[in-house]
Amino acid sequence: MKYLSPILAFVAFLLLNACAKPTFRLIDKPIIFDEERKQLSLEYLAKRHGIQQQQPYIKPKMIVLHWTAVPTLEATFDIFNPSLLPGRPDLQKASRLNTSVPFLVDRDGTIFRLLPDTTFARHCIGLNYCAIGIENIGNNDLTKAQMKANVQLVRYLKRHYKGIEYLIGHYEYKDFIGTPIWKETDPNYLTGKIDPGKSFMRKVRSRVKDLHLKGSPGLGGE
């Protein structure tokens, strides 16, 4: 009898652990955000989006999910880290600001924050001025842990930024052309995107249904 209560306590401990929600692991791993990146961000906002601002921050209305097509976190970090865009002449014509996102999700679901949540980042033509980007390490092979981390991150962002109304996959961005949300001064500046895949978006959306986030206009607002 005297062993019963420690055993019960242990069983309760196991049960609690089994029921606990997965840990939300967010690690700050900042990329360079120097004066040059700040000025290039303000220039991008003015030239591409037609928005004059003094500070490179956004009022988020949307979350855009991506995959990196680069297999490791380290390689991806090195790509986003410099302020200036390396190579990619098609993108350089539009701006020399390097691409980046505030959030990078590793294969095991660990979330790295590269920039403060609402810092302006170049990741989605026409929508950067209002969109928070989440990049997932990988290709069309994103993991279940990444899917769960995206769900948690979307919930975290919606909790902190009430103005967020939309959740889209990068491949859906062109559906906003012609709507008031689309802001890009050159109608020919467009790139083809398939990330992060329809099945990944379906899975994430089905798990955050209760947040009532809208999709692209092509989805009929679902």
Site for Zn ion in 62-81 (CB under 5 A): 66
Residues 141-170 that bind Zn ion (CB under 5 A): 170
**Closest CB to Zn ion among residues 45, 134:** 134
- Whichever of 66 and 148 has its CB closer to Zn ion, that residue is 66
Closer by beta carbon to Zn ion, 125 or else 151: 125
The span of 25-33, 70-78, 104-112, 194-202 binding Zn ion (CB under 5 A) equals: 194-202
Write out the two tokens for 161.
């930024």
Q: How far is the CB of 173 from Zn ion (least distance, A)?
A: 8
Is 195 a binding residue for Zn ion by CB under 5 A? The answer is: yes
- By beta carbon distance, the residue nearest Zn ion is 66
- 122 is a site residue for Zn ion (CB under 5 A): no
Residue 14 CB, nearest distance to Zn ion (Å)?
41
Q: Minimum distance from CB of 193 to Zn ion (Å)?
A: 5
Q: Evaluate the CA torsion angle 87, 90, 93, 94 in order and state its sign.
A: negative
By CB under 5 A, name the binding residues for Zn ion. Answer: 66, 170, 195
